[in-house]
């Protein structure tokens, strides 16, 4: 028999990891309470106590920004679980919902703000909360679409045998969703959540420092801090903002995404272990701590209870074919009517407010922006593909470069405004050329990410074979490296191209204090229309941008993607 240890009960009660867990959890609660103070204050308070560039305020601002982002992320998850599920489960709804998602993805985030801000402000008139809603919705629009797409695709590819197993063991649809479909979709979804957070940061200024026509709101947060620093030409403040951002990203990366990635690794269906499993100290804490274990148990019980409480419904029997056919026709008719009504409304707004000359001008501006995107993507590819291959073939380098690239993808364009404006003004440079690089500032990293991923997955035997036959120099790039990373490159380039269009709105106009430089393009057109509150122009500009993005995707990227998948994917 063991001798009882003194304080053995303490050890029983709490492990070392429990103490850390307590600190982390209480910290999170305090932070959330702190960050949400002031939500119900009247809007006028924002003007009475304006933002200050004192770095002492930054922790509070950072907390507010992060809280907003996570609320938006939560909303995006809710949206993902409902919208994408509906689209995947109902063939009929999917026919409409998937193309809608495709279009929503191409609509620039600023477009959503400018159109919805008045609506949200009117929900809670005169309170800060209304503006917060608008900001959170704006961030939501920069996060939700790719998450929903990823979830939709996962739902469509659940292995048939797993579905059959679920059916034959009588799982209810509710249980099936939480026990089969969500876990299956998790790995891809977590990856997309990370991308979404980066996207949210890139537009942090636009979503917090809202200025549409006469509505001007600067919500406390890092974004507004940056906007103020730019207006006051405060370079030190800009540096503080960069620092704060870095710290915040580092914290949620360590506390949330690392553990998530390590955790979802076991959700991957291909069962053979590939390489080293991801690790995370925070996950270790979660796993070892009994407090957390209790919370998990609670969650599971809720899940079990909810699946018991819900009616135990048998799977629906298929309807006779003839009736299906009639329903299909009816559904198509409903869609048809919706399309007619919607195009009539859009047409009315556009025709009433714009002339043919305006339309021609906007098309021309869109062509200008398109040229920029194409040239920039080509340039970025020339730079990052070789570097990505080099890095990807060296595991050590990959470990270092991946997180840096991730941070840079989140880096808002506004933060380099001072530098760019200074260079353009002092060097007397043409902004039409020299503002362009801002568009690709955040998006080029997607090319790098993906190429690194592709190169690091290149089978060792292929590389050895190439060495064995002494394939070197340009021949090696042409016959070995480039084909191997091509499918990955295409995926990255698609993301980068779509993102660059979106970024054009914040990148084609840069300001530093009162100095403003502007490039001609669709982005600056929309930005100007937004600050002028010119509703017709906003709609026209946004429609044009969506049209271009969707067309380019359909005509160029999608065929290229399928070609790459078919010809170069190493399975």
Our finding on whether 183 is near other proteins (CB under 8 A) is yes
φ, ψ for residue 394 (rounded to 5)?
-120, 105
Q: Which stretch binds other proteins (CB under 8 A): 307-315, 328-336, 510-518, 542-550?
A: 307-315
Q: Which of 171, 462, 560, 564 binds other proteins (CB under 8 A)?
A: 171
Question: Smaller CB distance to other proteins: residue 308 or 364?
Answer: 308
Segment lying near other proteins (by CB under 8 A), choices 1-9, 19-27, 312-320, 455-463: 312-320
User: Which regions of 97-138 does DSSP assign to beta strands (E)?
Assistant: none
Total interface residues for other proteins by CB under 8 A: 32
- What lies within 8 Å, CB to CB, of 526 at 6+ separation is 108, 110, 111, 505, 537, 538, 541, 542, 545
Examine residue 162 and tell whether it contacts other proteins (CB under 8 A).
yes
Note whether 567 binds other proteins by CB under 8 A. Answer: yes
Nearest residue (CB) to other proteins, 45 versus 312: 312
Using the rule CB under 8 A, which residue among 86, 169, 433, 469 binds other proteins? 169
Task: Examine residue 167 and tell whether it contacts other proteins (CB under 8 A).
Answer: yes
Q: Give whichever of 309 and 357 is closer to other proteins, judged by the CB atom.
A: 309
When binding is defined by CB under 8 A, the residue of 2, 10, 311, 314 that contacts other proteins is: 314
Question: Residue 206 and residue 202: Cα distance in Å, rounded?
Answer: 9
Residue closer to other proteins (CB basis): 63 or 185: 185
**Calpha distance 234→228 (Å, rounded):** 8
Q: Could you give the CA distance from residue 501 to residue 107 in angstroms, rounded to a whole number? A: 9
Q: Which of 444, 358, 459 is nearest to 406 (CA)?
A: 444
Instruction: Considering the complex, state which of residue 11 and residue 266 has its C-beta at the smaller distance from other proteins.
Output: 266
By C-beta, is 48 or 270 nearer to other proteins? 270
308 scored as a contact of other proteins (CB under 8 A): yes
Q: Which stretch in 85-93, 116-124, 175-183, 197-205 sits in contact with other proteins by CB under 8 A?
A: 175-183
Contact window for other proteins (CB under 8 A) among 219-227, 268-276, 364-372, 473-481:
268-276
Piece of 22-30, 157-165, 235-243, 329-337 that binds other proteins (CB under 8 A): 157-165
8 Å CB contact between 90 and 188: no
Least Å distance, CB 209 to other proteins, is 42
Q: Give which of 20, 483, 52 is closest to 228, Cα–Cα.
A: 52
Shortest separation between residue 161's beta carbon and other proteins, angstroms? 4
Q: Which of residues 215-254 bind other proteins (CB under 8 A)?
A: none
Enter the tokens of residue 232: 């006051």
- Residue 179 found at the interface with other proteins (CB under 8 A): yes
| 396 contributes a contact to other proteins by CB under 8 A | no
Structure tokens at 554: 């359909």
Binding of other proteins by 6 (CB under 8 A): no
- Nearer Cβ to other proteins, position 236 or 301? 301
Query: Within 10 Å of residue 26's Cβ, how many Cβ atoms?
Result: 10
C-alpha 546, offset from chain centre: 18
The residue among 396 and 566 lying less far from other proteins, judged by its C-beta, is: 566
Among 13, 19, 78, 165, binds other proteins (CB under 8 A): 165
The reply to whether 313 sits near other proteins by the rule CB under 8 A is no
Torsion angle of C-alpha atoms 191, 193, 197, 199, degrees rounded to 10: 80
**Sign of the four-CA dihedral 389, 390, 391, 392:** positive
Check residue 571 for interaction with other proteins (CB under 8 A). Answer: no
CA–CA gap between residue 198 and residue 73 (Å, rounded): 12
155 vs 302: CA distance, rounded Å: 23
d(CA 246, CA 250): 6
The yes or no reply on residue 268 touching other proteins (CB under 8 A) is yes
| 305 near other proteins, rule: CB under 8 A | no
Query: Applying CB under 8 A, does 304 fall inside the site for other proteins?
Result: yes
Region class of 376: left (phi > 0), else alpha (psi between -120 and 50), else beta: alpha
Q: Which helix (H) or strand (E) is 279 found in, with range?
A: none
Element at 501 (helix H, strand E): helix 482-507
Q: How many CA atoms lie within 13 A of 442 on its CB side?
A: 29
Q: How far is the CB of 185 from other proteins (least distance, A)?
A: 11
Asked if 164 is part of the footprint of other proteins (rule: CB under 8 A), the reply reads: yes
Lookup result for tokens 């059959």: 164
Q: How many CB atoms lie within 10 A of CB 398?
A: 16
Q: Work out which of 35, 67, 117, 175 binds other proteins, going by CB under 8 A.
A: 175
User: Which CB sits closer to other proteins, 180 or 292?
Assistant: 180
Measured in degrees and rounded to the nearest 5, phi and psi for residue 478 equal -70, -40
Residues 6+ apart with CB under 8 A from 558: none
Query: Where does this chain bind other proteins (CB under 8 A)?
Result: 159, 161-162, 164-165, 167-172, 175, 179-180, 183, 186, 266-269, 271-273, 304, 307-308, 312, 314-315, 317-318, 567
């Amino acid at each position: 028999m063991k001798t009882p240890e003194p304080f053995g009960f303490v050890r029983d009660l709490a492990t070392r990891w429990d103490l850390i867990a307590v600190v982390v959890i209480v910290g999170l609660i305090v932070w959330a309470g702190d960050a949400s103070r002031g939500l119900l204050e009247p809007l006028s308070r924002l003007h009475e106590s304006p933002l200050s560039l004192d770095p002492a305020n930054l922790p509070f601002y950072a907390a507010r920004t992060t809280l907003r982002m996570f609320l938006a992320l939560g909303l995006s998850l809710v949206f993902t679980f409902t919208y994408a599920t509906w689209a995947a489960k109902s063939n009929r709804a999917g026919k409409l919902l998937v193309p809608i998602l495709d279009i929503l993805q191409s609509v620039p985030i600023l477009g959503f703000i400018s159109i919805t801000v008045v609506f949200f402000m009117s929900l809670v008139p005169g309170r800060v909360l209304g503006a917060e809603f608008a900001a959170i919705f704006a961030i939501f629009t920069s996060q939700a679409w790719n998450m929903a797409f990823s979830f939709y695709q996962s739902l469509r590819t659940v292995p048939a045998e797993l579905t059959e197993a679920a059916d034959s063991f009588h799982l209810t649809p509710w249980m099936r969703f939480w026990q089969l479909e969500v876990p299956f979709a998790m790995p891809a979804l977590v990856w997309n959540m990370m991308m979404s957070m980066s996207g949210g940061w890139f537009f942090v200024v636009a979503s917090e420092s809202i200025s549409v026509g006469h509505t001007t709101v600067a919500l406390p947060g890092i974004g507004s801090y940056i906007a103020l620093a730019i207006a006051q030409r405060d370079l030190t403040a800009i540096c503080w903002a960069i620092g704060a951002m870095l710290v915040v990203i580092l914290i949620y990366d360590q506390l949330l995404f690392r553990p998530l990635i390590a955790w979802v690794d076991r959700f991957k269906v291909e069962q053979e272990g590939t390489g080293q499993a991801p690790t995370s100290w925070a996950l270790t804490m979660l796993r070892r701590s009994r407090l957390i274990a209790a919370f998990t148990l609670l969650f599971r019980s809720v899940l079990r209870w909810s699946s018991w409480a819900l009616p135990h419904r048998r799977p629906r029997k298929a309807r006779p074919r003839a009736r299906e056919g009639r329903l299909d026709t009816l559904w198509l008719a409903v869609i048809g009517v919706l399309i007619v009504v919607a195009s009539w409304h859009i047409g009315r707004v556009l025709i009433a407010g714009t002339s043919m000359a305006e339309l021609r001008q906007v098309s021309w501006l869109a062509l200008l922006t398109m040229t920029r995107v194409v040239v920039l993507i080509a340039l970025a590819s020339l730079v990052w593909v070789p570097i990505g291959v080099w890095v990807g073939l060296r595991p050590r380098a990959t470990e270092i470069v991946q997180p840096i690239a991730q941070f840079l993808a989140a880096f808002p364009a506004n933060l380099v405004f001072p530098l760019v404006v200074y260079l353009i003004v002092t060097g007397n440079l043409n902004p039409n050329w020299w503002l362009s690089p801002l568009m690709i500032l955040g998006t080029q990293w997607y090319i790098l990410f993906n190429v690194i991923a592709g190169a690091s997955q290149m089978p060792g035997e292929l590389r050895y074979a190439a060495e064995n036959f002494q394939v070197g120099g340009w021949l090696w790039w042409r016959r070995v490296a480039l084909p191997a990373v091509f499918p990955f490159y295409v995926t990255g380039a698609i993301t980068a191209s779509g993102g660059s269009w979106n970024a054009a709105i914040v990148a084609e106009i840069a300001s530093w204090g009162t100095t403003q430089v502007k490039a001609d393009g669709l982005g600056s057109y929309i930005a100007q229309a937004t600050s002028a509150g010119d509703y017709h122009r906003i709609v026209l500009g946004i429609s044009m941008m969506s049209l271009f993005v969707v067309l380019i995707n359909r005509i160029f990227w999608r065929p290229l993607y399928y070609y790459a998948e078919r010809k170069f994917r190493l399975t």
